[in-house]
Structure 1
Amino acid sequence: MIIAAAQFPSVPGDIAGNAARMAGLVTEAAERGAGLVVFAELALTHYDLSAIAADPAGLSVLPDDPRLTPIREACRATGVAAVVNGPGRGTGDDARPTIASFVYGPDGDLLTRYDKRHLFETENAVFAPGSAHGRFTLGGIRFALATCFDNSFPEVPKQAAADGCRVYLSSAFHGDAERVARYGELARAHGLHVLLANGIGVGSPGPAAGLSGCWLPSGEPVAAASAGPDGAGAELALSDVRDAITLMADPAVAAVPVRECGEPLVDVRTAAPGLLADGSAATDGAGLDGASAHLREGVLRRLLAAQEALPEGLRLRFVEGYRPPALQRRYFTRYGAELRAAHPDWDDARVRRAASRFVSPPEIAPHSAGGAVDLTLVTADGGNVDMGTPLDASPEESGGACYTSAPDLTPKARANRRILSAALRGAGLVNYPTEWWHWSYGDRYWALATGAEHALYGPRELAAGAER
């Protein structure tokens, strides 16, 4: 996934106008291959404390405020998520607004809200502090949220890293380049990808420094916008954080408990022939013809709902579902051997992690639980559509284009992946971000991605005779 720090000159008090500018930057970020765009502190209103204090009701918003509709619609139209910071209307006993980050997902719906916990000096007279950590998962990556003065407290990024976050997002209105440079130190100290969306223009604290940017976990800067206070107008600073994806080999996936619900495996060929199931896939000569045509009943039900949500003229083509544990072990061992031969300097842990980009470790494999499906889009009459790579193209074969949010796709392939993703996400499935075609429900990866307390499906052996 590519993430983008958006830097633009917001207009004081003009929520509707600033939201329209943000929507335009969401669209531009999508055109440049980004999957997430982050805006500066109080970008909705500009950092003008006196104006907000004079009209806290008029200059504070809830996530569904009609003035923010252009942003939500831009997210929905492009499949890009956005972190939008502004005065958030209070929801508790304290009538003061908060400095809030609303995270809108690629469907335009609210993923989470974070209220700045550490207020800076004069902010205390206008705003109420938040109390909860800001966390969300998108595209298989765990993100942490912070706002400006939050970053002066070392325990904030330390806790983010301890919580399994890989990318740290800060919305701010810093006034000097020295303060901005500290984000490189923060990244290195905690092993995090770091993004800063900083303000430009003159606000209540004085002129902002601009210099929005991104840093690698090594502390190396990889992108930066121009310096403030005037900057160069609207800009995006982009960084690729694909290496922050939680892979199947991550211990956090294996740590998810399974409470097997006992739901049966059903044959897609007879239960839903409209999905164009190909029961011959993935048998690999193992005498298991038809095994891959099976899915858990709940997964199939959700696929049918996703099919109904597709635009006219498109349908799903089911390719593979259940995979017997023995076959999963064979695939994982074989791919690991290929990687080891290509990279003799890699240790076993690195081989295992790299292999899990494309084949899941057998002990937690979603396919072997009947909870995963490999599929694609086709036209109504079964014709192929451009998805960017063939289904089952490895990272090596595709040059990384198999990643769902790969940056170098054609506009048509990106649009088709967005259509597929919207339908399947809307039906409750989650994607494995290294494979645009792999979606699951009820397995351990699904549980980790959605925050469920436990997985519903564990590994299963298909009943004798059911594979025919």
Structure 2
Amino acid sequence: MDDLHPLPTTPLTVAAGQAACVALDIPANVAAAADLVRRAADRGAELLVLPELFLTGYEPAGIAADPDRHTLNAADPRLDPLAAACAETRTAVVAGAPTRDPDTGRLHISALVLDREGRFAVQYDKQHSTPSERAAGFSSGTHGCTLTLDGWRLGLGICWDSGFPEHARAAALDGCHAYLVGAMFGLGAGIHQRAVVFPARALDNTSYTLLANHCAPSGPFHGCGGSAVWNPDGTLLTDAGPADPAIAVARLDPHPLAAARTAEPVLLDPSLTTPPGPRRTAPLA
């Protein structure tokens, strides 16, 4: 696999951001996202990942009740302040947002990706919607998504995607060096899930793994924070803790990645697993 997608040769600095959201107030949450972009850029980040549905808050029922008002798309002018922050700082962003398919009308929990010029790069739709999200009217996506930035291949996931080992494995089999997830893990069981799932995905696939998580009340949950990055051996690299707002900034280094993959080459042997499904690839340069 690394013959098709060589390991990166230079480090990449990424950030996972968290902050309180205002329920269904897209302009307010876009402003918070733009602030986090600038905070991340001040600490050297080239890419910021934000939590699931950050631009509306985690409000599936409210979104579905008025999708004309509460969904976004690539051309939505409400994204302009976020695009401006990306362009000013040369920092890409993965922003959690609800979307609606213009052809089918189906609702999706998505990640809208803006590149370092603030231009729309790609949309990823959550592939594993929860039962409650489906009951609210949200459909699951059909494609994985890989971003490319400075020689790094970065697979995207949203919350419950990370609970399915094959989702992160599909990214790894597509040559991804890191797995980036925006999520809503709440207090209680979510604390345990966060602590167990992400080191496992990192170790399973010898990939850096990033979580951007909610850190305040949103919809029916209270996010537990703990946005973080794990090394390819499953050890914790950086953790934002419960603070609001906060960012976890990490320098992804090719050398630990190469060492992990040399030590455990069988983990990424395509002959030992199901081939990944269709994926979209988007450059962020």
TM-score, length-normalised on structure 2?
0.82
State how 1:35-434 maps to structure 2 within 5 Å: 35-93=46-104, 95-124=105-134, 125-175=136-186, 176-181=190-195, 182-227=197-242, 232-243=243-254
Match of 2:128, as an amino acid?
H
* Structure 1 residue runs without a partner (length 5+): 251-345, 350-447, 451-468
In 2, the alpha carbon distance for the partners of 1:449 and 1:60 equals: 22
Which amino acid in the other structure matches residue 91 of structure 2?
A: V
Do the aligned residues in 1 keep the contact of 2:127 with 2:141 (CA within 8 Å)?
A: yes
- Is residue 76–residue 108 contact of structure 1 (8 Å, CA) maintained in 2? yes
Secondary structure in 1 matching 2:254: helix
Structure 1 Cα separation of the partners of residues 208 and 154 of structure 2: 10
Q: Distance in 2 between matches of 1:128 and 1:58?
A: 18
Contact 1:73–1:108 (CA under 8 A) maintained in structure 2:
yes
Distance 1:242 1:65 in 2: 35
C-alpha contact (below 8 Å) 2:147/2:282 kept by paired residues: no
Residue 237 (structure 1) shift: 0.3
* Structure with greater Cα Rg: 1
How many residue pairs match? The answer is 248
TM-fit CA distance, 1:36: 0.3
8 Å CA contact 1:141, 1:245 repeated in 2: no
Cα offset, 1:244, TM superposition = 7.6
SS at match of 2:74: coil
Q: Is 2:148–2:154's contact at 8 Å kept on the other side of the alignment?
A: yes
User: SS at 2:68's partner residue?
Assistant: coil
Write the distance in 1 (CA, Å) between the matches of 2:141 and 2:222. Answer: 26
Q: Is the 8 A contact 2:23 2:219 kept in 1?
A: no
Letter matched to residue 91 of structure 1: P
* C-alpha distance in structure 2 between counterparts of 1:140 and 1:92, whole Å: 34
Equivalent residue letter for 1:177: I
Q: Please, which runs of 5 or more residues in structure 2 have no aligned partner?
A: 1-11, 263-280
**Quick check: 1:72–1:104 contact (8 Å CA) kept in 2?**
yes
Amino acid across the alignment from 2:124? Y
Residues 205, 149 of structure 1: alpha-carbon distance in 2 compared, 3 angstrom cutoff:
farther
SS in 2 for 1:47: coil
Of structures 1 and 2, the one scoring higher in RCO (CA 8 A, sep 6+) is: 2
The answer as to whether partners of 1:75 and 1:82 remain within 8 angstroms in 2 is yes
SS in 2 for 1:57: helix
* Structure 1 residue 48: Cα displacement: 1.4
Identical counterparts, % of pairs: 35
